[in-house]
Amino acid sequence: MTFINRLHAQLVQIKTAGPKFNGGGICYNVDFAFVRLELPALEVLREQAFAAWPKFSGDENYPIPGGEEAFDETHRENMWNPEHPYGALRLELLDFMIDYFSPENFKEKVSA
């Protein structure tokens, strides 16, 4: 399985089974599936996807609008809650990343 396929599969798993760690965001939960040597490449790919998301905050550490303050305010209880504005944006970003890193779409991005 290629690196992109593994990344895509991990994102889909978070979507379908929920995050392994409710107190962590998308990045924290994705990193579980990769070894330390792969993390720099993963970070570059994430930053590209964040920058392509129309609602990107401009901060790679807190890509969802509202930044660190919104993250701290919603931590744990509402981070993944689709009924909470911040949680809904997190799930929207997750859906965007699933589409962005789908093997078909990513292959088109690389060859363009």
Q: Using one digit for the tens of pLDDT, what is the confidence trace for 83-93?
A: 999 999 999 99
- The arithmetic mean of pLDDT across residues 24-50, rounded, is 89
Exposure pattern of 24-53 as b/e (b: 16+ CB <10 Å)?
Answer: bbbeebbbebeeeeeeeebeebbeebbeeb
pLDDT at 67: 84
How confident is residue 70, by pLDDT bands cut at 50, 70 and 90?
Answer: confident
Q: What is the pLDDT of residue 109?
A: 66
- In degrees, rounded to 5, the angle at the alpha carbon of residue 43 between the alpha carbons of residues 38 and 48 is 130
Query: Which candidate, 88, 90, 40, places its Cα nearest to that of 62?
Result: 90
Question: Across residues 57-65, what is the average pLDDT?
Answer: 93
CB contact at 8 A, 101 and 47: no
Rounded CA-CA distance 22/90 in Å is 12
Query: Higher model confidence: residue 88 or residue 106?
Result: 88
Radius of gyration of the chain (CA): 13
- The pLDDT value recorded for residue 37 is 82
86 touches 26 (CB < 8 A): no
Mean pLDDT (the chain) is: 89
